[in-house]
Amino acid sequence: MASRLVLVAPVLALLVVSSSGALEAAAGAANGSASANGAAAGVRGSSSQGVFSLGRYGAGGDVLAALPVASRLVLAARLLARLLVPGALEAMSLGASVFSLDRYGARGDGRHDDTHALAKAWKAACASPRPAVVLVPGGRRYLLKVVTLHGPCRSSVAVAVKGTLVASPNRADWSDRERRHWVVFRGVSKLTVHGGGAVDGNGGRWWPHSCKINRALPCKEAPTALSFHFCKNLRVEDLKIVNSQQIHMSVEDCANVQLARLSITAPGNSPNTDGIHITRSRDVKVTSCRIKTGDDCVSIEDGTHNLHVSKVVCGPGHGISIGSLGDDNSRAQVSGITIDTVQLYGTTNGARIKTYQGGSGYAKDITFQNMIMYSVKNPIIIDQNYCDKARPCKEQRSAVEVSNVVFRNIRGTTITKDAINLKCSKHVPCHGITLQSIDLKMQSGKGSAESTCQNAKWRKFGTVRPQPCTATKTTEGLELSSI
């Protein structure tokens, strides 16, 4: 409130100044001097400018100078009212056309449905000829059902989440056709989602109905909290995403993506609550994120190319996983993956690649480096015989080819003896596997860690503990080499 009151002075100038130039100056100050062009356009009366545009209040500079004091008082009161409502100050600082949910009828009390207000604000922002902001004001909770926000838009759009978007607690609000999604952005270029607020999936209403929690129930999908489909030049940063129904964030068919400073949190026993899921996307950067969930912290699937993950803290959860790939005899293509500077706490896996038998394609040019693991169950694992089906998977001759994989500078503790497990296909063996500068020990010094290799072509550089492939299984004619 104190910051808002500081801005009252230039607005009060409207009561005592008669020249249009001074009035324009006051208006520019009230607009926060976001940009010279934006302030001037606001004084000219454009209805699409920032929330403090004089034109929005029915006055242009020339007309305003001729107004009597009483009329100026009415105008100043209206400006002050806009200044003091929740979210106005935040909007003012963004320097673009601002479309607040409250302006489109949102209640923000966490009980009434605000889905239509968000959809209307998005539609208006997407149609704006200049950069636009959809504002979710701070200090409020906006209840949403399933909603898809479509592009393309006329200009860049930012969604500033200052408050909280919370999912409807009523599972019946999702039909079977749409139960995989909650909030979806589709076909949008130059989209930014940020603001320091929260996205709450209300997952506690969904998890008890999962077949992984109650095996007597049929297995059904549940919504992903935030989905981005066919987006280009996407930035998602400075958000808290909590208790998603299933996956917290999914990036699908996107290009040029930056995900930064995200906090993603759900209980360690929450089913299928992956932190960040990436598929069929390229040129993606994930940095400075804290992820604590009941499934993979980061899951990387088919069609992902040129992905760089760095400065991520993970756990609880299932670690950093590439795959699963090749499910149902499908073809997979994954390349150019770098996982760098990651800390894992109590996860069920560390650095993992998993593929089904019967698939085809490749997973290549992959680096896991500079990783610290604390009480991790399977620190390093390649599994080309992965199977999570109700029945055992039958042996098949085809497989996704795994090659040119580097595990470098990885240290910490394991709670299982098999610290390094290269379980590769006997028909399509993994090759070009590099183990370099690895130091993994049993938690609390209880015994010695071990390493198992099956059908793997590998080499080592520097000190590697445990000694690679001390329990080696090979097929006839396959050479294992170390340097």
In the chain, count H helices and then E strands. 8, 29
- 3-state secondary structure (DSSP) of residue 214: coil
Residue 156 contacts by C-beta under 8 Å, 6 or more apart in sequence?
Answer: 131, 132, 189, 190, 191, 192
Cα dihedral 245, 300, 254, 196, rounded to 10, equals 50
Phi, then psi, of 240 in degrees rounded to 5: -110, 125
Give the largest Cα separation in the chain, rounded. Answer: 97
68 residue type, one letter: P
Q: Which two tokens stand for residue 363?
A: 């997973």
Residue owning tokens 């896996």: 349
Q: Is 219 exposed, middle or buried (0-12, 13-18, 19+ CB in 10 A)?
A: exposed
Distances (CA, A) of 380 to 17, 127, 429: 72, 49, 17
The answer to whether residues 203 and 169 touch, using CB atoms and an 8 Å cutoff, is no
Phi, then psi, of 64 in degrees rounded to 5: -60, -35
Question: Sign of torsion, CA 40 45 49 53?
Answer: positive
Q: Which two tokens stand for residue 257?
A: 């993506």
Phi, then psi, of 182 in degrees rounded to 5: -125, -75
431 tagged catalytic: no
The answer to whether residues 243 and 219 touch, using CB atoms and an 8 Å cutoff, is no
- 3-state secondary structure (DSSP) of residue 147: strand
Does 152 sit behind a cis peptide bond, omega within 30 degrees of 0 on the bond before it?
A: yes
Q: Could you give the CA distance from residue 299 to residue 108 in angstroms, rounded to a whole number?
A: 33
Instruction: Write the DSSP assignment of 33-65 as a string of letters.
Output: T--HHHHHHHHHT-TTS-TT-TGGGT--HHHHH
Q: Which helix (H) or strand (E) holds 119?
A: helix 115-126
Q: Which of 194, 248, 277, 318 is catalytic?
A: 318
Q: Which helix (H) or strand (E) holds 438?
A: strand 430-442
- Active-site annotation, residues: 318
